[in-house]
Every structure is written in C-alpha cells, then in structure tokens.
Chains A and B, each alone.
Chain A
Amino acid sequence: DAKTTQPTSMDCAEGRAANLPCNHSTISGNEYVYWYRQIHSQGPQYIIHGLKNNETNEMASLIITEDRKSSTLILPHATLRDTAVYYCIVIYTGANSKLTFGKGITLSVRP
C-alpha cells in the first residue's frame, strides 16, 4: 500500500474551516484514499473515502488532486468536538482489513 505523509499537528478556530492535507505521491490507480479520526480513548471513526473524484458527506469533503498524489480533508465548520487525531490512509482493493495507520495529524480546535 502507498505511504502517506501528514503534518504532525495543526489548529484552527471554532467555526472556521479546517483543511487537513495529506501527501500520497506513490498511490497507484486502484488505491482508495480513506480518512479516519480518533478521539482520545475511542476507536477510529470513518469519515470519508474516495478514489478519483472529490467526495462530500455530512461530515466532511475530500478533495483529491487530479494526479492523485495528494488530498485534503475539509471540515467546513470545525467545532471543539472535532479535536482529534486524523489519519489519511491509502488502501488497495480487497486489502482494507490490513489498514496501517501512521501517526496521523492532531487537529486542535480552539474556542
């Protein structure tokens, strides 16, 4: 599976958009980009995933560059409850059970 690179941490103000970047320059054609987040002492929570097109759901938007080498998770109106570690993962078809979570990015939402 392709490796991902994320900044260690970032913060944003409550109510503002949080844009979390992820680099996956070695991604191959059949690999999906997934985002999960983990709030302290809980299991990871699925946020969104995509293959080529941009995706949006009730939680977030996922913007994937045309060359698929990077992506951005957008939380449109961050709240204090969005403070968590966010993991960007690239996974091949049929192998999502071998998800390998890196260090992720710690997002701190400040009042």
Chain B
Amino acid sequence: KAGVTQTPRYLIKTRGQQVTLSCSPISGHRSVSWYQQTPGQGLQFLFEYFSETQRNKGNFPGRFSGRQFSNSRSEMNVSTLELGDSALYLCASSLGSGAGEKLFFGSGTQLSVL
C-alpha cells in the first residue's frame, strides 16, 4: 500500500506570494491533518479534515487554510507568505479520528520563504 504522498518536496517562494501544498493520504484513510515543524517551535498542529469537513483547527492566522476533496486528498494554502512561514509542512492521514488511531505521516514539504 502506498504511503502518504506530499508534493512538492521542496519549495522556494518570496515574501507576499502564496503557496499551495498537496497531500494524498493512504488509500482508505478519511482523516488528513496538517502540521508545521520549525526548529524553534517544534511540530505544531494546523488543522484536520475528515470527510471534506474541517474538524479541528490549531492556533494559526487565517492566512493558513486548507480543504479536502471527495477522494480524501487534501491541500493547504498559505497566502501572503512571511519569512516566519519557512518550515517543514507535514501531512498525516488516519482511518478515522477516534480514540486509538495511528497517524501516518508523509515526508513533508520543505518551504523556504526568501
């Protein structure tokens, strides 16, 4: 079974631009969550989608948004990029979002904002 696939693997943008990252979950998984990882803040939760609906949201500004499609694939968008948005963005999928679920992570998209 293929794992979680994130594209692109690396991305370089400039301040003020916007970016869209893509995540394809493991086949059959309906929950997709997104995380931002930086050396200073560690791994922080962005949001979670289940069956095309946003279920949970972390403490990030409205510039960060996401969506999930009917095939469970998900995208996240960051508008008006800032230098501080440089990070590894990770996507994780799971069968559901109940107790005892295992999260399976992709390799991430490394975003650099210049």
Contact = CB atoms under 8 A, between A and B. Distances in A.
A83 B33 CA distance: 26
Given A94-B97, A98-B58, A43 B108 contact: yes
Interface string A23-41: 0000000101000100001
Given A46-B102, A93-B98, 6 more contacts: A30-B99, A36-B103, A92-B99, A96-B101, A99-B103, A100-B43
Interface in A70-100: 92-100
Interface SS of chain A: helix, strand, loop or mixed?
loop
Contacts of B99: 30, 32, 92-94, 96
In this complex, the interface size class of chain A, counting residues with CB under 8 Å from chain B, is 20 to 34
Interface of A: 30, 32, 36, 41-46, 49, 51, 92-103
Interface of B: 4, 31, 33, 35, 42-45, 48, 55-56, 58, 88, 90, 92, 94, 97-108
A44 B43 contact: yes
